[in-house]
Amino acid sequence: MNSKKLCLILSAVLVLGLGGCQKEQTELEEAETQEVSIPMILTVDPSTGNRNEEEVVEKFNQAYEGTYHVEVEWIMETEEEYRKNLKRLNVTDQLPAVITDLRMLPSFYQMMIEEGRIEDLRPYIEGDEEWKNMIEPSVLDACSEEDGSIYLAPISTAMFACSGVFWNQELFQKAGIEEFPETWEEFWDCCDRLEDCGITPLALHTEGTAWAPMLLATAELADSQEGADFMKKLYPDSYQNASGLHLAETLQKLFSYTTEDALHTDFDVSYRNFISEETAMIPNGYWMIDQIPEDMVDKIRFSPFPGNKLVGSPETFGWAVVSSYSQEVKEGAIEFLKFRTMLNKEEKEKFLEEQTSYENQIVKDYVEAYKGEPQLVPNYQVKWNSVLQEETLGEALPKLVQGDISPEEFTQMEDESIREFEEER
């Protein structure tokens, strides 16, 4: 082989080698810059078609384009259906990287911690001063476990996480009532005066964890120190005590002031009774403000429960990160949760800056209630066992209301739920 031919062969080999190196380098660079996908499941409201939490997802994906992308599977389910499906997804190891609503399932939440299925976020929050400073101390405390660990990435503020009472000012005025009652004695008197004028005082229901009546009953229970302490207990070991009996008696009394269709129906029926002006009051949270029809906005007001109380558990709005994902996915998920905290903080600041310009009196009422240093009563749904909430209340409450069982027997059924819950665990 002559020297010229040998040079040509060597040159070709060199070119091919360089081309291969360049290709490997390009592939390596593409791998290093590939956008990390963060899987998540979010619901579409079956009644409105609205995609829940769509705004925070879109803003994050825009801000982190090329680095992280939250990949959402939108499902047409109620929040209750979504929560039930979390348990199935856990068994089949198909959970998304970010879980919402986990704290609304107390026993499942505890199991996820015990089995190491979700990340402790305390090191990330403590190691990020900017993130920690976004969070109100009361919110951070609510999301913390007894050992200091944090499995639920906090929102910034409890401002949008509280419940009180929406009331129809026109119906109140027909009964000669100008202001919402400030004490529970005044509240019961208010109910009597409304009834005397042919106005049904309360919109209530018994299904779906009996949300509306339980808000009222637990707020009333917390009027005493003993009752307030009881409301703070996680998984009470018995309801056959003074607090449990008082709660049952209050529930029984509340249903003497409601509609005939309150039994065996869910909150949607209560809501319709309120907006159709069949009732004068309904307990619910900040999120209901946007659900008040425009032609009713001028006549609806919002107030804290008597005794200056709001029911609120900001930990229910905390989102968790599933531990079984790769480190890069978990880091992206944590960055997403920090971004959500930031948006919540900005929303609060904008809200407070613009509150004086709001024409909506309900919004002004809510801000005044929140800034009025109310006593925050924990939401029973993050304290009591799932059997009691999802099964026992729906069965026992109608019986209590109709007089088929006594308040004492009602508490016995609650205690039976504790035994069933322990057996399920």
Taking phi over 0 as left and psi of -120 to 50 as alpha, with beta for the rest, 336 belongs to: alpha
Instruction: Summarize pLDDT for 24-45 with one digit per residue, the tens.
Output: 554 444 445 699 999 999 998 7
Query: Which pLDDT score is estimated for 10?
Result: 45
Segments making up each domain of the chain, as ranges: 35-159+316-354, 162-312+360-424
If 0-12 CB within 10 Å is exposed, 13-18 middle and 19+ buried, where does residue 357 land? exposed
Tokens of 1: 């082989």
Which CATH code fits 162-312+360-424? 3.40.190.10
Domains 35-159+316-354 and 162-312+360-424 share a fold: yes
Instruction: Summarize pLDDT for 305-336 with one digit per residue, the tens.
Output: 999 999 998 888 899 999 999 999 999 999 99
Helix-helix angle 327-354:54-63, to 10 degrees? 120
Tokens of 148: 């200091």
User: What is the rounded CA–CA span in Å between residue 129 and residue 285?
Assistant: 31
CA 314 to chain centre: 7
Which amino acid makes up residue 52? N
Q: Are 258 and 202 contacting, i.e. CB atoms less than 8 angstroms apart?
A: yes
Instruction: From first to last of the 425 residues of the chain, give the pLDDT tens digit.
Output: 555 454 444 454 444 454 555 545 544 444 456 999 999 999 987 767 789 899 999 999 999 999 999 999 999 887 778 888 999 999 999 999 999 989 888 778 989 999 999 999 999 999 999 999 999 998 998 899 989 999 999 999 988 889 999 999 999 999 999 999 999 999 999 999 999 999 999 999 999 889 999 999 999 999 999 999 999 898 899 999 999 999 999 999 999 999 999 999 999 999 999 999 999 999 999 989 988 999 999 999 999 999 999 999 888 889 999 999 999 999 999 999 999 999 999 988 887 777 655 678 999 999 899 989 899 999 998 889 889 988 999 999 999 999 999 999 999 999 999 999 888 76
Query: Which pLDDT score is estimated for 13?
Result: 45
Cβ-based neighbours of 420, under 8 Å, separated by 6 or more = 387
For domain 35-159+316-354, give its CATH number from 3.30.930.10, 3.40.50.1980, 3.50.50.60, 3.40.190.10. Answer: 3.40.190.10
Residue with tokens 């008197």: 189
The Cα-based distances of 193 to 190, 314, 401 in angstroms read: 5, 35, 21
